[in-house]
Amino acid sequence: MPQIDIRYFTVIAVAAVVTIGSVIGVNYFIDPYDRLGNNRIGHYLEDDRSAKVKQVQVYPHDSLLLGSSKVGFIDPAALGTSRRFYNAGFVGVMPEELLSFLRHYGAKEELVVIGFDLYMFNLTFTAMLREDRFADLTGEQGWAYLASVDTLSASLDTVWRRLSDEPPGLEFHGQRNPWRINRVDAPFTKPSHEKVLGNLRTQHYGNFVFAEERIAILRDIRALLVERKQPHIVFLNPVHRSELALLREISAGEGMKRLRQEVKQIFPLAIDLSDGNWSGDEAYFNSDPFHYRPETGTAFMRDLLKQCPVDGVSIGWRGC
């Protein structure tokens, strides 16, 4: 029987330990998703949830702006108010996630502003989310994140983008940096909406099934804000006129009517911006009729804060 050279196994074991240790070390110091709060290079990745969990805890603010990626493009520093907002707009967010974020990180806000979208209420587009995506990492989840090859790939991608002088995708106050969408939009000198409208027809609004459970979530959001005695403003996001035309052609149009009624019933002072002054071409990217331009968001937010349709005002309220 041949003898086993223990040195061979020692070398393999040492190499494995060094490799795993290197992966953990790189992921710990780069922390591309900022799940540990160690990211100092910048946030370049599409997953904005974990990064904003850390940002909202360190960025000084007294008010919170919540919503989808549309809201995410609004610059909270340009709203013309003495209030200091943090932008908690998330890509593809659902109402149950907004409720979770408020429970975890919205207890001290003096003013909460929330924008809702129709896609959030299509159960075919996104089934109900049962996992709390804003809960703290467990020890096991933390080690899995550090030792992950996917995290390593994200770390290297983050370093490469930084070395390439690409601007971070997320600003310190939560705004999504519009640099990337502006670059995509630059070649379009006039509206070109067919591709995005096609995606909306088949994905966001395809086989529309109204999410009744998410209406209950809206009531939970309202109840939480009332319980905390937090002043709040609620609005339905602006919708481009070409998208409104699409909705009239498909079953999702009935969903929009239902959503308007439900939001107004639950939040009596809610403002419906879905069909009005902010539905024209000039308010949106030429290549994307789903997302309004950052300056559009700034403009209607300034109007909202001037109107100040606040519910839940209590003693000591200093206005919008």
Instruction: Determine, yes or no, domain membership for 1.
Output: no
How do strand 85-89 and strand 111-116 relate by DSSP bridges? unpaired
User: By residue range, what is the domain housing residue 18?
Assistant: 6-307
Average pLDDT over all residues of the chain: 91
Instruction: Determine, yes or no, domain membership for 255.
Output: yes
Q: Give the pLDDT of residue 23.
A: 74
Instruction: Determine, yes or no, domain membership for 317.
Output: no
Question: Could you tell me what percent of the chain has a pLDDT over 90?
Answer: 66
**Best CA proximity match to 122, nearest among 242, 256, 291:** 256
- Is the pLDDT at 112 greater than 80? The verdict is yes
Q: What is the CA angle 125-128-134, rounded to 5? A: 110
The Cα-based distances of 269 to 19, 87, 193, 217, 236 in angstroms read 58, 22, 33, 18, 12
The Cα-based distances of 258 to 118, 206, 251, 254, 255 in angstroms read 10, 17, 11, 6, 5
Q: Give the pLDDT of residue 138.
A: 86
Instruction: Determine, yes or no, domain membership for 313.
Output: no
**Residue located via tokens 């002072």:** 269
**Do 206 and 125 meet the contact criterion of CB atoms below 8 Å apart?**
yes
**Best CA proximity match to 254, nearest among 210, 291, 290:** 210
- Is the pLDDT at 19 greater than 80? The verdict is no
The string over 2-20, giving b where at least 16 C-beta atoms fall within 10 Å of a residue's C-beta and e elsewhere, is eeeeeeeeeeeeeeeeeee
**Whole-number Å distance between alpha carbons of 61 and 310:** 19
Cα torsion angle, 18, 23, 26, 27, sign:
negative
Instruction: Determine, yes or no, domain membership for 151.
Output: yes
Structure confidence by residue, pLDDT tens digits, 222-235: 999 999 999 999 99
**Do 34 and 51 meet the contact criterion of CB atoms below 8 Å apart?**
yes
CATH number at residue 35: 3.40.50.1110
- Is the pLDDT at 319 greater than 90? The verdict is no
**Residue located via tokens 């710990």:** 28
DSSP 50-91: HHHHHHHHHS--SEEEEESHHHHTS-GGGSSSSS-EEEEE-T
Q: Give the pLDDT of residue 44.
A: 85
Is residue 247 within a helix (H) or strand (E), and if so which, with residue range? helix 241-249
Q: Where are the alpha helices (DSSP H) in 68-210?
A: 69-72, 95-105, 139-146, 149-163, 179-185, 194-199
For 16, residues 6+ apart whose C-beta sits below 8 A from its C-beta are none
- Is the pLDDT at 124 greater than 90? The verdict is yes
Instruction: Determine, yes or no, domain membership for 24.
Output: yes
DSSP at 292 = E
Structure confidence by residue, pLDDT tens digits, 42-101: 888 877 898 899 899 999 999 999 999 999 999 999 998 999 999 999 999 999 999 999
Q: Give the pLDDT of residue 215.
A: 97
Q: Give the pLDDT of residue 2.
A: 57
Q: Give the pLDDT of residue 294.
A: 96
pLDDT band at 311 (very low <50, low <70, confident <90, very high): confident
**Do 62 and 56 meet the contact criterion of CB atoms below 8 Å apart?**
no
Instruction: Determine, yes or no, domain membership for 312.
Output: no
| Residues 190-210, mean pLDDT to the nearest whole number | 94
Instruction: Determine, yes or no, domain membership for 207.
Output: yes
Number of folded domains in the chain? Answer: 1
- Is the pLDDT at 137 greater than 90? The verdict is no
Least confident of 16-20, 48-52, 147-151, 256-260: 16-20
Structure confidence by residue, pLDDT tens digits, 241-260: 999 999 999 999 999 999 99
**Whole-number Å distance between alpha carbons of 6 and 141:** 34
For 195, residues 6+ apart whose C-beta sits below 8 A from its C-beta are none
SS3 state at 160? helix
Q: Give the pLDDT of residue 3.
A: 57
DSSP at 165 = T
- Model pTM above 0.85: yes
**Best CA proximity match to 139, nearest among 36, 47, 50:** 36
Burial class (CB in 10 A: 0-12, 13-18, 19+), 40: exposed
